[in-house]
A and B are shown apart, each in its own frame.
Chain A
Amino acid sequence: MVSNDALGLPVVDALALDEPVSRLLMPGALMRTRNGDAHVLPRFFYQVDSWHDALETQLTPHFGLWELMDVDLHEAAPLRLFPRYVPCAVTSLAAALEVFRLEVGATVRITANGGYRSPTHHGSRSGSPHCWGTAANIYAIGGAPLDTEEQIGRYAAVARRLLPFAWVRPYGHGPGEADDHLHLDLGYVTTIPNGTSEHHDGGAAARA
C-alpha cells in the first residue's frame, strides 16, 4: 500500500484485497460492452476509510471525492461499508469536471450512483465507464435540473467543445440515451499512480 501525496489516500491493489471485496470490484477482469468490446476493469483504487474522509478529500477546487462515490442500495453491501474503494482514474474525471465547472460558472451536481459504481452494482450496465470511475451523471447546474432536451443539449455542447476526448450521452428516452441528466465520460481510462507496481505476487499490498 502506498499513499498518494496530494490526496493523502492509500492506493491499494484490489487484487490483494480480501475476497468478498475483491470479487465485487473485479480488478483486472474483462467487462464487455453491449456491442461486444472488451475492456479491463481497474485494479488500483484509492482506499477511503470513512465518509468523513470522503467529505474532506477535495479532488479539485469544486469537486469532493464524496460526490463521485455516493451510491445507494443497488451497490453490494460490502462495497457500501468502509473502507471503500474508488478507482484512481477518478482524479482525471474530477479534473475534466473542473474544466467544465469553470466554463459554466455554476455549481455542478452529480447524482447518487452517478460517479463510480462497481461492476456488480445493479445499475451498472455492460461496459459502463462508471465502473472505471471515469463517468459522471450531472443532474443539476446552478440549481436548475437537467431534465429537458434544451438544457441537456446546451450543456452537452459545452462538454463536447471543452472536452473533445469525452463522450456525452445524447438526450432521449431509449437505451444509450438520457433524459434526466447529462452523462459524460472519459472512456476506459485506468490510472496507476507513481510508486505503484503492477507486479502481483499474491501479497497483501501494492508496493512502491
Chain B
Amino acid sequence: MTRAETLQATLASRASEIAAGLGDGALGISVFDYLSGFAWELNGARWFHAASTIKIAILAGLFDAIERGRFTLESRLHVRNRFSSALDGRSFRVDARRDADDEVHAAIGKTMRLGELARHMIVRSSNLAANLLLDLVGVEETRVALASRGIAGIDVRRGVEDERAFEAGLINQVTADGVVALLRAIRDGRQFSAGSSQAMIDILMDQEFAGGIAPGLPEAIRAVARVAHKTGDISTVSHDAGLVFLPGRPPYAIAILVASAADASIRTGTLAAVSGLVYDAVAAAGEAA
C-alpha cells in the first residue's frame, strides 16, 4: 500500500466513524492538495441541499459575466427586494429577518456596486445580494459558466428564499466534489483572469462566519492559516468549503457537507472534526511530497 493509499484508508476509516455519529444524516467530503496532489473523497458525488454554498457558484457566474465584458465590479445595480419565482414567475421577497446581512436591505431603493454586493453575498451571506446578482447574471448563464469550465456537481436552479420553488422540489444542490472543482477553477483561474481569480479569493478570504474548517485545524496551525471559504446553514444542513492557505506551501481545497436533523451544534462539530482529520492527512501527504 502506498503512502497516499494509507492516508486515504485512514481518512476513510475515521471519517466513517464521524459519519456514523450522524445517525440517519449524511456526510460528504472532498479534498485536493495542490502541494502533494493528494485527493480524497467520501460520498463526493452525493447531492446535498446547497444552502449558502451556492453563493460561490453565483460569485463565479458574476465574474464570468465580468470577463465577458457585460459589466464591471464598479457597475451599480438598483437594490430591489422583488424577485420572480423559478417555479411560476410569481414575485417573492427575501425576508430581512431571515437574512444574515442587513446592510443590503438598508440600501433598498438605492444602488450598490456589484463588487459590494458580491462581498455582502459571500462575507455576510446576504441572501438579498445573492438574488440580485443571480437575477442580473441569469441562472442559465451561471450554469453555462460552470459547464464551460468543466465543473459538474453544482446545480444552480434558482435564487434563495424562493419558497414556492423549494416546496415544489426545485432546489440548488451541490456535491462535495463539485464544490472542490469550483474552488479549484477559481484558484486556477480557469477561464478567469488572474485579477478575477484573486478578487474572488480575496472576497472568500474575508468571510465573517467561522464555519468548521478553521476551527477544526490544530491551534498552532489555525493561528497562521488563512481560509478563503463559504459556509452554508439551513435547518438540516451545515456546510463549509474553501481554500486553506498555509505558510510556505500552496493551498488545499476542501468541501465538507453535512446533512442531519440533529442539533446544529452536532453538525458544526462534525465540520470541525472532519477539517482536523483532513488537515492531518494533507500535512502528512505534504511531508512526503
Contacts and interface: CB of A to CB of B under 8 A. Distances in A.
Interface of A: 70, 72-74, 109-114, 139-140, 145, 147, 173, 179-181
Measured as residues with beta carbon below 8 angstroms from the partner, the interface class of chain B is 10 to 19
Contacts, number: 44
A74 B77 CA distance: 8
Nearest to B110: A112
A180 B82 contact: yes
A91 B78 CA distance: 23
Given A70-B111, A73-B71, A145-B108, A113 B78 contact: yes
B90 A111 contact: no
Contacts of A145: 108-109
A147 B94 CA distance: 12
Given A73-B77, A112-B111, 5 more contacts: A73-B136, A111-B78, A111-B80, A111-B110, A139-B109
Interface in B95-112: 108-111
B197 interface: no
The listed residue with most B CB atoms (<10 A of its CB), out of A72, A113, A114, A145, is: A72
6 contacts: A73-B114, A73-B136, A113-B78, A114-B109, A179-B82, A181-B109
Contacts of A111: 78, 80, 109-110
B91 interface: yes
The listed residue with most A CB atoms (<10 A of its CB), out of B76, B79, B114, is: B76
B75 A73 contact: yes
B81 interface: yes
Per CB-CB distance, the 6 closest pairs between chain A and chain B, nearest first, are A139-B109, A112-B78, A73-B75, A72-B78, A112-B111, A111-B109
The listed residue with most A CB atoms (<10 A of its CB), out of B79, B81, B90, B111, is: B111
A139 B108 contact: yes
Nearest to B82: A180
A64 B106 CA distance: 21
Contacts of B109: 109-112, 114, 139-140, 145, 181
A109 B82 CA distance: 18
Contacts of A147: 81, 93
A109 B111 CA distance: 13
Interface string B193-236: 00000000000000000000000000000000000000000000
Interface string B128-142: 000000001000000
Nearest to A113: B78
Contacts of A181: 109
Contacts of A70: 110-111
A179 B76 contact: no
Interface in B34-90: 71, 75-82, 90
A39 to B, nearest CB: 25
A180 B82 CA distance: 7
Nearest to A75: B76
B91 A73 contact: no
B110 to A, nearest CB: 6
Nearest to A72: B78
A111 B136 CA distance: 18
Nearest to B96: A145
Nearest to B74: A73
A70 B107 CA distance: 14
B21 to A, nearest CB: 45
A180 B81 contact: yes
A173 B111 contact: no
Contact of A180 (B71, B80, B111): B80
Contacts of A179: 82, 91
Contacts of B114: 73
A173 B90 contact: yes
B94 to A, nearest CB: 12
A110 B110 CA distance: 9
Nearest to A173: B91
Contacts of B91: 173, 179
Contacts of A109: 109
B81 A72 contact: no
A31 to B, nearest CB: 22
Given A111-B78, A111-B80, A179-B82, A72 B111 contact: yes
A39 B72 CA distance: 35
Contacts of A113: 78
Nearest to A146: B109
Nearest to B92: A173
Nearest to B80: A180
B147 to A, nearest CB: 25
